[in-house]
């Protein structure tokens, strides 16, 4: 039988990290076993489900590079669930429950007050036909409950956790069809998995307690019980539950911030799983060849945003400069660093390409490109960082910056026109070295030479190499910025 996995999200929100990992693991497991994947939208909760979320989930799955062989919506299968429930009623494996929500609430409260676990007291289990018909003639609403065998051990072998045992006595008769005619989660899942030929159920450990109920339903409906595997939760670095502040954001949000799909997939793949050789950076095609369900850890996975940023940076550095610019342009336009018409301006785009080359190693996410580039597309320095101000206060800084300005102006005069001059990095390096030669007798070198020059053209103490900076800015803009810095020092330092 062809291995069949399923990913079954509820469209009540976006695709979060934990849900995305579950989808990825199902896809990897199916691929490694030459099986198939079903995408099933579990949207029977009409009040909370939304087609907007469904579209968002599907868009994010496709962005991650995941695919599926079959697609279903539970909301389009209501008649199927009702027909299976009718069969269980006919076989006396289920019964109609006419208990009101008010009675069930009081039952739960009394059980909790007595220190007992809440479960249904089977009041409607033995109603005779006459009473059932009377209730139905009166139009009383009813749910359909499944009859749970008493004192039975429910045992299954979890592919990750080993043998797991439940006692049927703690479950109680549970609802399979609600009073509004829609199926309960456990019933719809079992009908779908059995009807669709699902052989492996790979899901989060929060579903572990559902498995006992589902096994009973599989058996009662005559379906083959699939193999179960429950993945551990993803926790924050401090061991707490993930929150929005600590990484529980949607894949769409990660995408908008400038994370790359291949980095997200790579990172998610090593949350609770690692290949035998402990390799961490690999292409998704390599993961498929190495992935095994048995290699998934029982221990909780720790979401580390710093590690994700590091990994994303690695994938950014694998991009060509052309690819990096194409990825970065939408952020520049969105933040109004560029107008759309600027994209057709060769001079502007040449500067963008130089920026991409200079800053590629500094980027953690694509959106970081915007603040780096913004400073190089303006005529003036937007401000001086606290560290830059400390450099400007050094006794030697003014002299260094003046000598640097002299070399810039000397180069400017060597050209025959008054247009901005595009310097390559070699020419830029020569200007810096010439300024250094003028200061050699004063033994000004190293950071005492380079830091004042860097601050004079960027207002910051960190960034790419100085030759790259001067090449990006151009000779005219460098002169303008250095004069701005000297004027600032005259007034404020």
List pLDDT tens digits, range 262-308.
Answer: 999 999 999 999 887 778 998 888 888 889 999 999 999 999 999 99
The rounded distance, in Å, linking the Cα atoms of 211 and 412 is 77
Angle at alpha carbon of residue 70, lines to 67 and 73, rounded to 5°: 110
For residues 339 and 406, membership in a common domain is answered with: no
Enter the tokens of residue 370: 């915007």
User: Do 355 and 263 belong together in one domain?
Assistant: no
Structural domain includes residue 471: yes
Whether residue 61 is contained in a domain is answered as: no
- Residue 172 within a domain: no
CATH (domain of 398): 1.10.10.350
Asked if the structure places residue 281 within a domain, the reply is: yes
| C-alpha span between 74 and 97 (Å, rounded) | 24
pLDDT value at residue 271: 94
pLDDT, position 417: 56
- Asked if residue 452 has pLDDT above 80, the reply is yes
Residue 354 is predicted with a pLDDT of 93
Question: 471 and 392 share a domain?
Answer: yes
Average pLDDT, the chain: 94
Three-state SS at 147: coil
> Do 447 and 479 reside in the same domain of the chain?
yes
pLDDT > 90 fraction of the chain, expressed in percent and rounded: 85
Residues 339 and 360 in one domain: yes
Question: What's the confidence (pLDDT) of residue 284?
Answer: 80
User: What's the number of domains the chain is made of?
Assistant: 3
> In this structure, how many other beta carbons lie within 10 angstroms of the beta carbon of residue 226?
22
- Residue 376's Cβ-count burial label (10 Å; 0-12, 13-18, 19+) is buried
Is 36 domain-assigned? no
What is the average pLDDT across 305-331?
97
Same domain, 279 and 342: no
Residues 6 or more apart whose CB falls under 8 angstroms from that of 269 comprise 24, 28, 284, 287, 291
Q: What is the mean pLDDT of residues 246-265?
A: 89
pLDDT, mean of residues 226-255: 86
Q: Is residue 185 a part of any domain in this protein?
A: no
Q: What percent of the chain has pLDDT over 70?
A: 98
Whether the pLDDT of residue 416 is over 70: the answer is no
324 & 354 share domain: yes
Q: Residues with Cβ < 8 Å from 59, sequence gap 6 or more?
A: 252
Average pLDDT over residues 202-209: 95
Structure tokens at 439: 């200061």
**Residue 418: is its pLDDT beyond 60?**
no
User: Any idea what the CATH number is for the domain that residue 294 is in?
Assistant: 1.10.1160.10
Return the pLDDT at 288. 85
In a domain, 200, yes or no: no
Q: What is the pLDDT of residue 177?
A: 98
Give yes or no: residues 329 and 399 share one domain: no
Is residue 399 located within the same domain as residue 481?
yes
Structural domain of 254: 244-316
On whether residue 335 sits in a domain, the answer given is: yes
Contacts of residue 324, defined as CB under 8 A and 6 or more positions apart, other chains included, come to 316, 356, 360, 366, 369
Mean pLDDT along residues 311-334: 97
Q: What is the dihedral of CA 24, 29, 35, 39, to 10 degrees?
A: -30
Tell me the pTM. 0.89
More confident call, 155 vs 413: 155
Q: Examine the pLDDT at 245 and tell me if it is beyond 70.
A: no
Based on the fold, state whether residues 473 and 438 are members of the same structural domain: yes
Residue 150 has phi, psi (to 5 degrees) of -80, 145
Q: Angle at which helices 210-220 and 185-195 pack, to 10 degrees?
A: 50
Q: How far is CA 397 from CA 300, 392, 457, in A?
A: 53, 6, 13
pLDDT tens for each residue of 121-133? 999 999 999 999 9
Same domain, residue pair 412 and 451: yes
Segment 210-232 shows an average pLDDT of: 98
Residues 482, 468: one domain? yes
Question: Taking 90 as the threshold, does the pLDDT of residue 447 lie above it?
Answer: yes
């Amino acid at each position: 039988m062809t291995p069949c996995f399923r990913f079954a999200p509820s469209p009540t929100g976006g695709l979060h990290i934990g849900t995305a990992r579950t989808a990825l693991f199902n896809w990897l497991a199916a691929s490694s076993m030459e099986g198939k994947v079903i995408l099933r939208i579990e949207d029977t909760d009409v009040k909370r489900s939304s087609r907007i979320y469904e579209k968002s989930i599907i868009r994010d799955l496709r962005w991650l590079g995941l695919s599926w062989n079959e697609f279903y919506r539970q909301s389009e299968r209501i008649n199927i669930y009702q027909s299976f429930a009718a069969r269980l009623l006919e076989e006396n494996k289920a019964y109609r429950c006419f208990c009101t929500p008010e009675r069930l609430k009081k039952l739960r409260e009394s059980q909790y007050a007595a220190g007992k676990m809440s479960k249904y007291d089977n009041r409607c289990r033995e109603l005779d036909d006459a009473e059932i018909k009377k209730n139905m003639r009166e139009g009383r609403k009813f749910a359909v409950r499944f009859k749970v065998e008493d004192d039975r051990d429910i045992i299954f072998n979890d592919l990750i956790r080993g043998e797991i045992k439940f006692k049927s006595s703690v479950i109680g008769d549970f609802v399979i069809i609600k009073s509004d005619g829609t199926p309960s989660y456990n019933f719809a899942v079992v009908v779908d998995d059995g009807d669709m030929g699902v052989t492996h159920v790979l899901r989060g450990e929060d579903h572990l307690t559902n498995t006992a109920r589902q096994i009973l339903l599989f058996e009662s409906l005559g379906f083959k019980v699939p193999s179960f595997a429950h993945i551990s939760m993803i926790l924050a670095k401090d061991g707490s539950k993930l929150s929005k502040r600590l990484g529980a954001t949607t894949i769409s949000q990660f995408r908008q911030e400038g994370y790359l799909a291949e980095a997200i997939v790579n990172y998610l793949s090593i949350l609770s799983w690692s290949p035998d050789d402990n390799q961490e950076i690999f292409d998704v095609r390599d993961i498929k060849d190495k992935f095994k369900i048995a290699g998934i850890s029982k221990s909780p996975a720790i979401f580390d945003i710093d590690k994700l940023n590091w990994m994303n940076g690695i994938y950014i550095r694998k991009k060509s400069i052309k690819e990096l610019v194409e990825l970065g342009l939408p952020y520049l336009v969105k933040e109004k660093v560029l107008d759309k018409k600027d994209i057709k301006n060769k001079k502007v785009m040449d500067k963008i390409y130089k920026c991409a080359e200079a800053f590629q190693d500094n980027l953690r996410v694509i959106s970081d490109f915007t603040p780096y580039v913004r400073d190089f597309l303006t005529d003036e320095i937007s401000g001086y960082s606290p560290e830059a101000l400390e450099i400007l206060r050094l006794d030697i800084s003014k002299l260094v910056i003046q000598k640097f300005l002299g070399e810039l102006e000397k180069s400017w005069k060597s050209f025959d026109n008054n247009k901005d001059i595009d310097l390559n990095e070699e020419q830029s390096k020569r200007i810096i070295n010439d300024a250094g030669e003028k200061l050699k007798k004063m033994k000004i070198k190293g950071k005492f030479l380079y830091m004042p020059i860097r601050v004079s053209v960027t207002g910051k103490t960190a960034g790419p190499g100085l030759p790259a900076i001067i090449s990006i800015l151009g000779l005219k803009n460098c002169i303008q910025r250095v004069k701005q810095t000297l004027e600032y020092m005259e007034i404020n330092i």
